A and B are shown apart, each in its own frame.
Chain A
Amino acid sequence: MTGERRLAGPIVAVVASAVLFTLLDLSGQAFWQGLVINLAIFIILVVALNLTSGFTGVFSLGQIGFMALGAYVSAILTLPLREKGNYLPNLPGWLAGVHLDQTVGPVPIGFLVATLIAGLLVAAVAWLVGRVLMRLSGHFVAVATLGFLVIVRVVLFNADSFTRGSRTFSNVAPYTNLWWAGAWALLAIYVVWRLKRSSFGREMFAQREDRVAAQAIGIRVMEPRLLAFVVGAFFSAVAGALYAHFITSFSPTVFYFDLTFRVITMLVIGGMGSVSGSVVGAIAITVLAEGLRRIEDTTLLYGMSQIILAVIFLFIITFRRDGLLGGREIALDRLFTPGWRERLPWARAGGTTPPGSPGQSP
């Protein structure tokens, strides 16, 4: 009985988004479709950053570096053979023959394979980097991962034969559509949600709250941190691949600090540690930024929208550091179980507290 009820909430959410996507797909409104694809990519990024940083307290600023690697790796892999010759003439032989542009009917199966390869490759890189960096804590890990972002940028700018250096990488096939972006976003949310409720997730939160106490009762520190870092990197790379095949032309300058800060803003506004908070934060900031951008375009006051977003960020971090949801969840799986009213995030009294709700360790 309760098992069925538990499934009801998530199923309603999935069906609702499927209906929304179908309507949007049929409507042919390119602007709104683009906005939703953008939103889905940001949701993947924020959920992944939440896993890496919000769950474990090990704040990573290198996530956009993983996204950049994912974008470039997948774009190189899906480039058709004849364009590869003109476009990246100096590719090494083993890579020059690869072209994952196959489709089965309407499904670009090559793109899926390229996305998975990019994700796994980047996850492997993250494992190597993480084994070293996850030993650090506090702001030192933040700056070391920022160093990783700079290193990725320098490499992308200089590895001309793979990335065309500072020149724009264009001619990427526009494979990313509503369905790809939406499905990956759902998968990311599902995986991170399950991880949060797993024993690994509880270890992540435990060592975040009090590392010494956690270690003293035998809770591991390195393993959960590394798992969070690697899985987060995988989904960041997937977001990069989706972005590359959505925007179709990009250069290394995109993947830098502004984007990093945008994702962090979404995470902090939603609340670190709360998966539903990440989704709320991504929606809120994407919509707000789009609105502000339109005002900026008409008034020509460039920079104003960034200032407003940064001021909002300052207010949140000063007065409501746990974010809009206060580190709690909108628990879809208990949406239709008895007593759901008390569990709403804004209902302070009663309800179960999800693990790690007090934001950060004091």
Chain B
Amino acid sequence: MGDYFLQQVVNALSAGSLYALMAVGLAMIFGILRLINFAHGDLMMIAAYLAAFSLGAGLPLQVAVPIMVAGTVLVALLMERIAYRPIRGAPDVAMLLTSFAVGQILQNGTLLVTRLADKPQQIAFPSPPGLGGVTTIGPITVPQVNVISFVVGTILLALLTIFVTRTRLGLSMRAAAEDLVAAQLMGIKVNRVVATAFAIGGALASVAGLLFAVQAGQINPYIGFTPVLKAFIAAVIGGFGSIAGAVLGGYVLGFLEVFATALAGIGDLLPPGSVPDPVREFLQQWLPSSLASYRDAFVFIALILVLLVRPQGILGRRDREDTL
């Protein structure tokens, strides 16, 4: 039982790291532009394809990763320049819908490219050496990629914190998030700040994409949709627009998800004798293992509850415009 619990903690930390990596990108861009960039998930998908093609061509991981990151950052910068800059300052919903259109273009563009390259729509992800396999920590055995996700996630998020608190560009970014117009009046080059946010978001999303693809084992052009929704939920839980909030929200969501799933079917899992029989029967009846497949529904109900009860999230500030 203790081992099972520990294993779930590792899973939760790993899932939480991926959500945090995605949510931070969303939160940075939202903080500056008030744009919910739904195409963020498709950056992750493009990274997975770039990695799959590079690794498939026989390149070692040390070469494939830089190609992947550079390619994804390029796509992120292009989408900002082509699609989002012309409508900067438009109503919220117009920007949100634009990001849907960008997502459609990226997904179907990938579909078209795989088609032209004579590849099937769904491809197996070539598990690179050093990322696949399992590892043993004390009494438990977990997939190695879960541990790597947590370690890499923590390092990258620490680097990001240093960047936004200790560098000039990071400071400009926080100023722009505080008040875009005032920042511009103070001589901050907003275009550069926005491009930086997209570049960093793209780089973090690309790493998340690689880790996600290794965990999933196969990729298709639509894998970005669910993660970006989850990352959005994470960002809302933490407090939208705040980087620290996004990280916290990512881990909270990771734990919520893993433990909600583990809780379904708990009645069958508890060792005999540990609980009285009526309790076990009650658990088996009300928390059957079949509930686990409803996980995504519960996650969204949690989101709606947060939006209603505390729309500013755990760390965010109240924005009066957002609710009645």
Is A144 an interface residue, CB under 8 A from the partner? Answer: yes
Q: Which of B102, B229, B311 contacts A140 (CB 8 A)?
A: B311
Known: A304-B112, A321-B94. A155 touches B101 (CB 8 A): no
Known: A140-B323, A264-B100. A151 touches B308 (CB 8 A): no
| A297-326, CB < 8 A from B | 300-304, 306-307, 309-311, 313-314, 317-318, 321
Known: A59-B96, A140-B307, A150-B229. A306 touches B296 (CB 8 A): no
Closest to A360 in B: B91
Check B322–A140 contact: CB distance below 8 A: yes
Q: From residue B258, how far is it (CB to closest CB) to chain A in Å?
A: 17
Q: How far is the CA of A140 from the CA of B108 in the complex (A)?
A: 27
Closest to B302 in A: A147
Q: From residue A177, how far is it (CB to closest CB) to chain B in Å?
A: 32
| A307-354, CB < 8 A from B | 307, 309-311, 313-314, 317-318, 321
Cβ–Cβ < 8 Å partners of A360 in chain B: 91, 93-94
| A21-80, CB < 8 A from B | 57, 59
Check B92–A317 contact: CB distance below 8 A: no
Q: How far is the CA of A136 from the CA of B92 in the complex (A)?
A: 13
Q: How far is the CA of A303 from the CA of B121 in the complex (A)?
A: 11
Cβ–Cβ < 8 Å partners of B296 in chain A: 150-151, 154
Give the number of residues in B that approach A within 8 Å (Cβ atoms).
45
Q: Mark B105-127, 1 if CB is under 8 A from A, else 0.
A: 10111111001100000000000
Is A106 an interface residue, CB under 8 A from the partner? Answer: no
Q: Mark A137-156, 1 if CB is under 8 A from B, else 0.
A: 11110111011101100110
Q: How far is the CA of A300 from the CA of B112 in the complex (A)?
A: 9
Cβ–Cβ < 8 Å partners of B229 in chain A: 146-147, 150
Check B93–A142 contact: CB distance below 8 A: yes
Known: A140-B323, A301-B112, A361-B91. A310 touches B104 (CB 8 A): yes
Check B100–A314 contact: CB distance below 8 A: no
Known: A133-B304, A318-B87. A154 touches B98 (CB 8 A): no
Known: A144-B303, A302-B115, A303-B109. A139 touches B104 (CB 8 A): no
Q: From residue B321, how far is it (CB to closest CB) to chain A in Å?
A: 7
Q: From residue A281, how far is it (CB to closest CB) to chain B in Å?
A: 14
Check A314–B115 contact: CB distance below 8 A: no
Cβ–Cβ < 8 Å partners of B311 in chain A: 136, 140
Is A102 an interface residue, CB under 8 A from the partner? Answer: no
Q: From residue B206, how far is it (CB to closest CB) to chain A in Å?
A: 22
Check B294–A261 contact: CB distance below 8 A: no
Q: How far is the CA of A142 from the CA of B236 in the complex (A)?
A: 13
Q: From residue A147, how far is it (CB to closest CB) to chain B in Å?
A: 4
Is B86 an interface residue, CB under 8 A from the partner? Answer: yes
Is B225 an interface residue, CB under 8 A from the partner? Answer: yes
Check B36–A139 contact: CB distance below 8 A: yes
Q: Mark B257-292, 1 if CB is under 8 A from A, else 0.
A: 000000000000000000000000000000000100
Q: From residue A151, how far is it (CB to closest CB) to chain B in Å?
A: 5
Cβ–Cβ < 8 Å partners of B301 in chain A: 147, 151
Check A303–B108 contact: CB distance below 8 A: yes
Is A268 an interface residue, CB under 8 A from the partner? Answer: yes
Q: How far is the CA of A59 from the CA of B97 in the complex (A)?
A: 10
Q: From residue A219, how far is it (CB to closest CB) to chain B in Å?
A: 13
Check A314–B225 contact: CB distance below 8 A: no
Is A221 an interface residue, CB under 8 A from the partner? Answer: yes
Cβ–Cβ < 8 Å partners of A157 in chain B: 293
Check A139–B93 contact: CB distance below 8 A: yes
Is B151 an interface residue, CB under 8 A from the partner? Answer: no
Closest to B111 in A: A303
Cβ–Cβ < 8 Å partners of A321 in chain B: 90, 94
Known: A154-B294, A318-B86. A261 touches B104 (CB 8 A): yes
Closest to B112 in A: A303
Is A222 an interface residue, CB under 8 A from the partner? Answer: yes
Check B321–A317 contact: CB distance below 8 A: no
A57-B93, A154-B297 known; 9 other A-B pairs, CB under 8 Å? A138-B93, A140-B323, A143-B236, A147-B303, A221-B324, A301-B116, A303-B109, A313-B101, A314-B105
Mind listing 28 A-B residue pairs with CB under 8 Å? Answer: A132-B304, A135-B308, A135-B323, A135-B324, A137-B321, A137-B324, A138-B92, A138-B321, A138-B322, A139-B36, A139-B96, A142-B36, A150-B229, A151-B300, A155-B294, A158-B290, A222-B324, A257-B225, A301-B115, A301-B116, A303-B111, A306-B108, A307-B104, A307-B108, A310-B102, A313-B97, A317-B87, A317-B90
What are the nearest 7 A-B pairs in CB distance? A303-B108, A147-B300, A303-B111, A310-B104, A154-B297, A306-B108, A303-B112
Interface residues of A (CB under 8 A from B): 57, 59, 132-133, 135-140, 142-144, 146-148, 150-151, 154-155, 157-158, 221-222, 257, 261, 264, 268, 300-304, 306-307, 309-311, 313-314, 317-318, 321, 360-362
